[in-house]
Amino acid sequence: MTGTIADGAAVLLTSYWPVPDDLYINDPDVGARINGVAIRNAMQDVLDGGGRYGLLHVHMHLRKDRTGMSRTDMAEIPKLVQSFRNVGAKAAHGLLILTPDHALSLALLPGTDSLQQVNKIIIVGYPTEILK
Amino acid sequence: MSERTSRQSFLGPNSDHIIQSATVGVVGLGGGGSHVVQQLAHIGFQNYVIYDHDVIEDSNLNRLIGGTVADVKEKLLKIRIAERVIKGLQPTASVKAVPSRWQDDHLPLRTCDILFGCVDGFAERRELEIVARRYLIPLIDIGMDVQPTVEGQPPRIGGQVILSMPGDLCMACLGFLNEKTLAKEAARYGAVGSKPQVVWPNGVLASTAVGIAVDLLTDWTRSLRRSVYLSYDGNSHTMQPHVRLQFLKGATCSHFPLENVGDPVFKAL
């Protein structure tokens, strides 16, 4: 998967690591919430990558139309992304929200202070899908 | 679906949007690439990145689509001819025209969602595939050749269309690029001489490549699910899957691991 940002930067995603079921917290206020171990594991993966690899937090919204960040996403995910930045400042980190037919992604690029919207997401494969 | 594209509505209800959203790159605007851009413009593509640094010559007029006698007199860049063809069909299209070798200014390539390689030579094909793999861009390569045969026999026209998809088989896996052909080409480097080229094989190959691209983006056949390697026989006027494919079922690419995407970086030892 490729995401392009207005200034010509591209974020390339090549692998997906699911969070094991036992690292979720039972929280009735949200659809799903991961625990501190899951976050530390993710941070460790970034650290082990030696700054070469970034991480995008991926989750799904089940509404079949264009999506936005929920209030919980807005409150929690920037902090999560900052945690990834703390252990891997040279790589891009961010979030990817999928719906059945759209996607939204924000990325914190190296050397920048805020999340930027990814304006084009391409799912490379058979078929190759462009989400704009 | 607009009236203009109503005859291609079978591509799907969102096909206009898909085609208009895509950025297509065409490297090389000679015999093959000039066909490709013309067809992309007819289909309705709106975003182009095109590369060529050559000017049109008299010997190109037997095959360069859109080229005219006046263009030869003016020594017009091939890229300007391609731009004219595109704009003639899609006046509002965005065309990033790069009149230099793509290796000298490759950043615009990264913005492409799909790439057409219409280049000469094996080494340049390999270089283009490396860039396409690094930035996860599907690459469709086309090429043709006319080979002399034994005396008394007609020459043979051959060609290929290859879809090199990131994560799937590459041109080396498919056996099209190998050390032997690269070494042979390197040994000929600098040798003067013009290769035979004609318009119709380029047209067949370019049309097939464009068809693959449209299928890849719209999924209208719902059957394109693996790398493509088609072999063209210009003497029998046929195109068929290359024989090597039957030995590659289930094979994976070892030349371009996915962890090697992105800009190359120095690694501390």
- Complex ipTM: 0.90
Report chain B residues whose CB lies below 8 A from the CB of A14.
136, 258-259, 261
B218 touches chain A (CB under 8 A): yes
Contact check, Cβ <8 Å, B114/A128:
yes
Q: How confident is the model at residue B123 (pLDDT cuts 50, 70, 90)?
A: very high
Mean pLDDT check: name the lowest of A28-32, B70-74, B83-87, B153-157.
Answer: A28-32
Distance in Å, alpha carbon of B114 to nearest chain A alpha carbon: 9
Alpha-carbon distance A57 to B80, whole Å? 44
Mean pLDDT check: name the lowest of A109-113, B88-92, B229-233.
Answer: A109-113
Is the separation of the CB atoms in B158 and B147 below 8 Å?
yes
Alpha-carbon distance A89 to A80, whole Å? 14
What is the per-residue pLDDT for B189? 64
- The tally of domains found in chain B comes to 1
Between CA B19 and CA B28, with CA B22 as vertex, the angle to 5 degrees is 105
Alpha-carbon distance B171 to B179, whole Å? 12
Contact check, Cβ <8 Å, B137/A12:
no
What is the per-residue pLDDT for B6? 93
Task: State both tokens at B248.
Answer: 């590659």
Alpha-carbon distance A126 to B13, whole Å? 19
> Which A residues 43-102 touch B at CB under 8 Å?
52
Print pLDDT tens along chain A (132 aa).
887 776 678 899 999 999 999 999 988 888 888 999 999 999 999 999 887 889 999 998 887 666 788 888 898 899 999 999 999 999 999 999 998 888 899 999 999 999 999 989 999 999 999 987
Angle between helix A36-48 and A71-87 (nearest 10): 40
**Is B254 exposed, middle or buried, given 0-12, 13-18 or 19+ CB atoms closer than 10 A?**
exposed
* Domain annotation covers residue B173: yes
Per the structure, the complete domain to which residue A74 belongs is given by: 2-131
Angle between helix B199-218 and B33-43 (nearest 10): 40
Question: In chain B, what percentage of residues exceed pLDDT 90?
Answer: 82
What is the per-residue pLDDT for A53? 87
Distance in Å, alpha carbon of B77 to nearest chain A alpha carbon: 27
* Domain annotation covers residue B268: no
- The tally of domains found in chain A comes to 1
A128 touches chain B (CB under 8 A): yes
* Domain annotation covers residue B34: yes
Contact check, Cβ <8 Å, A1/B217:
no
CB pairs under 8 A between A and B: 54
Mean pLDDT check: name the lowest of A52-66, B28-42, B224-238.
Answer: A52-66
* Domain annotation covers residue B265: no
The nearest alpha carbon in chain B to A14 belongs to B258
Alpha-carbon distance A65 to B233, whole Å? 47
What is the per-residue pLDDT for A88? 92
The nearest alpha carbon in chain A to B168 belongs to A125
For B216, the closest of A8, A15, A127 (CB atoms) is: A127
What is the per-residue pLDDT for B148? 80
For B259, the closest of A4, A14, A122 (CB atoms) is: A14
Per the structure, the complete domain to which residue B181 belongs is given by: 3-260
CATH code at position B35: 3.40.50.720
Tell me, yes or no, if the pTM score tops 0.80: yes
The nearest alpha carbon in chain A to B138 belongs to A124
Residue B78 has pLDDT above 90, yes or no: yes
